[in-house]
Amino acid sequence: MFSYLFFVFLVFFFLLLRPQLSTLSSSSAASDLSHRQALYGGGAVHRYDAEGRRDAVVEVPTVQVTACTLGGPGLDQLFITTSRQGLDPDDPLAGCLFRADVGVRGLPAREFAG
């Protein structure tokens, strides 16, 4: 568990030091220790492997990607939320929810015991 948390810390540290036009928004972890990062202003979700290398990109047809999470019956679908705040009203996809089949299972939610 510690090594996975350290990996997540390194991914955030690496991304924050890189100059980029987008902002980190939210992230999601998977059972294969990969990590997905939503890019607000970047129109994409990046996937990083267990070694911290970006190995996949899910392009989103609007720029303000706000969050991503793995879900669905098999926890193998990536749900991506977006925002339309401050965008041109002519962008019909801003504010929509998107789904991508990513071929890896997410981690089940830990339920609150009370």
- Domain positions in the chain are 2-101
pLDDT digit of tens for each residue in the chain (114 aa)?
555 555 555 555 555 544 444 565 566 778 888 889 999 999 999 999 989 899 999 999 999 999 999 999 999 999 999 999 988 788 899 999 999 999 899 988 888 887
* 105 contacts 76 by C-beta, under 8 angstroms: yes
Quick one: pLDDT at residue 3? 57
* 100 contacts 77 by C-beta, under 8 angstroms: yes
Quick one: pLDDT at residue 42? 92
Q: How far apart are CA 87 and CA 102, in angstroms?
A: 28
* pTM for this predicted structure: 0.74
E strands along 1-114, which residues? 23-29, 35-40, 44-48, 54-59, 65-71, 77-82, 97-101
| CATH node for 2-101 | 2.40.10
* 52 contacts 13 by C-beta, under 8 angstroms: no
